[in-house]
Structure 1
């Protein structure tokens, strides 16, 4: 047998072996801090799980652990990095002030309104080769599979009535952390850092005056039971819940499984953002019905301009601080803006 024939036969055997390996059943453990029945899970996580099963002919099985069953939300990044869990949905707000500062891009006020626009821009700067990949994900050894970005935050659950910008002064506001804390300071509020699961009790006890978040969460998590008011009409920034896997785990998987994970992630995030863009509007309407009993004020055009002026320097100060630490926030912001629709 000639050498070329031997080589061809050997390559054929290698390809057959890879195909056989890729067809073996693989089980991945997937955790989130969200409950199993909320829209974040139903419209995001479950879509990812179903699409992954379809793309792999059900050769990849997901063991799903909602509601912090696989670990606390503030431990999520470490759980992924050390391989204690294969996939965990990481709340960006818990790490934008520390390990992943460029996630603060999401928290910029008055920058973007559409959830899908923010989702696509975040993927553009976060995929391999992008600035977030190079400066944040690669050094941490993680890969983001799905970008679940939430609708723009407002004072969506408030115990105090707000109809003037000056009403925000002195209010204890639970916010997304990081850059969003700066926004609260500029508005004269008092930023309070608590986790999502702690919010309901904080509203009930009066530990916070208002929760800055999206309206679907107010409806779905039952925050409306402890508040009477909300405000809409000015984007205060937002946060995301990103499905992450360690890069070493990702690279250890067959190439066809890697491709399936990427495609399932894109499918899930597109489904999630399209749903949320619509549900934000619906939730605002729902919450003002007799069933929910909230009163939601919409900022006037003059008040929107006032808010824009007050918060105009927030992003610049954030950029300067990160640049001083050697983090390329200016380039990241420019690339993020460039990825948004004109």
Structure 2
């Protein structure tokens, strides 16, 4: 899931970054038209195209997307059908905001940290140490991102999209290959660890580790070859990407951050929908947030036991080390907010609102 988002634009010969993106979206539109034309005609009144970057069997697809589809169909009385384009069929993860804005997809998998130049405040859900479960994080994020929420007002609505539901995976652990030899808190130093861009990178640097950016599908080969020592991921993603075959040690009970994901609809498309369809999408989205986070938390506990039974060393930290981590995570949050405040973004207000929303969950 995580993907770099703050790189400088690459200038290709003969064109600007915008013209390059326009050509890419044009090619995607042509490919999408062919794919859509090959699909059977739907008898539903409304057909919505949803695009994401996840493998079709991913835990998010199973626990959130498919649940959402089923609930909308039921609530709308069969008036709505979906066409699902997984695995970056309509665009790379970092391009799915543009894919949704242009109408190539009606609903897109939009991760604020992947488009941090447009949605920097949305990364508040990814700050380490903030919450203890998927449900705490997801419901707090939802309270800010849903229509009328603080993040909706500041970032989503200005970008022409409306959030239908959010996903915050269970808190990330640090998982390591056998070659990494990770056995204790001090072993973070010098280890090359794949992380999301932004707050996670800051947290790893403070521990003396070297954060590395790459997409989840690349992690398996990188860990197998020793290019990286480990990665920050929840156990659900560890298994989804077959990393359980190479992981031999892991932290447990920590929160190195998560990924805050939204499934958002093009605002013009939303405004054109009948009121009863809008109501079905709204209710289904709210239900999806609660259903998915509960499933993620249950699966996370089950997978932790499974990995341990298969010989994975679960590394716990002493109270003194926990205190070091807590101070580290607090410093990351303060730095994140301070850097955005300098850019004129009300990050202090967003961070305060997010923490209040977490407290309300407890």
Give the TM-score taking structure 2 as reference length: 0.83
CA distance in 1, matches of 2:101, 2:123: 21
The aligned counterpart of 1:333 is: 351
The aligned counterpart of 1:16 is: none
Determine if the alignment matches structure 1 residue 263 to structure 2 residue 271. no
State the shift of 1:127 in Å: 2.1
When residues 311 and 120 of structure 1 are mapped into structure 2, their CA distance, relative to the original with a 3 A threshold, is: closer
The aligned counterpart of 1:275 is: 295
Query: SS at the partner of 1:245?
Result: strand
The aligned counterpart of 1:131 is: 150
The aligned counterpart of 1:107 is: 126
Determine if the alignment matches structure 1 residue 321 to structure 2 residue 335. no
State the shift of 1:263 in Å: 1.1
The aligned counterpart of 2:185 is: 165
- The partner residue of 1:49 within 69, 72, 75 is 69
* Between 138-147 and 309-318, the greater mean CA deviation after superposition: 309-318
Q: Which protein is bigger by CA-based radius of gyration?
A: 1
Query: SS at the partner of 1:228?
Result: strand
Match runs of 1:179-328 below 5 Å: 179-290=199-310, 293-328=311-346
Q: Does the 8 Å CA contact 2:217/2:241 hold for their aligned counterparts? A: no
State the shift of 1:24 in Å: 6.5
Kindly report the root-mean-square deviation, in angstroms, between the aligned alpha carbons of the 2 structures.
1.7
CA distance in 2, matches of 1:286, 1:161: 20
Match runs of 1:54-69 below 5 Å: 54-69=74-89
State the shift of 1:53 in Å: 0.4
Q: Does the 8 Å CA contact 2:176/2:182 hold for their aligned counterparts? A: no
Q: Does the 8 Å CA contact 2:165/2:288 hold for their aligned counterparts? A: yes
* Between 329-338 and 151-160, the greater mean CA deviation after superposition: 151-160
CA distance in 2, matches of 1:24, 1:254: 13
CA distance in 1, matches of 2:112, 2:303: 23
Q: Does the 8 Å CA contact 1:156/1:232 hold for their aligned counterparts? A: no
Structure 1 segments of 4+ aligned residues over 3 angstroms from their partners = none
- The partner residue of 1:175 within 167, 170, 195 is 195
Q: Does the 8 Å CA contact 1:29/1:85 hold for their aligned counterparts? A: yes
Question: Alpha-carbon deviations, 1:121-154, whole Å to 9, x = none?
Answer: 1111112332211111121111111101100011
Q: Does the 8 Å CA contact 1:202/1:208 hold for their aligned counterparts? A: yes
CA distance in 1, matches of 2:223, 2:264: 30
The aligned counterpart of 2:167 is: 148
State the shift of 1:92 in Å: 4.2
State the shift of 1:251 in Å: 1.1
Q: Does the 8 Å CA contact 2:113/2:119 hold for their aligned counterparts? A: no
The aligned length equals 317
CA distance in 1, matches of 2:206, 2:259: 19
Q: Does the 8 Å CA contact 1:175/1:191 hold for their aligned counterparts? A: yes
CA distance in 2, matches of 1:128, 1:158: 42
Question: Alpha-carbon deviations, 1:132-181, whole Å to 9, x = none?
Answer: 11111121111111101100011034442333332111111111211211
* Between 134-143 and 199-208, the greater mean CA deviation after superposition: 199-208
Q: Does the 8 Å CA contact 1:230/1:296 hold for their aligned counterparts? A: yes
Unaligned runs of 5+ in 2: 1-42
State the shift of 1:328 in Å: 0.5
Question: Alpha-carbon deviations, 1:198-237, whole Å to 9, x = none?
Answer: 2222222222211101011112321022231111122111
State the shift of 1:73 in Å: 1.3
CA distance in 1, matches of 2:329, 2:273: 45
CA distance in 2, matches of 1:157, 1:69: 30
Unaligned runs of 5+ in 1: 1-22
- The partner residue of 1:72 within 92, 108, 115 is 92
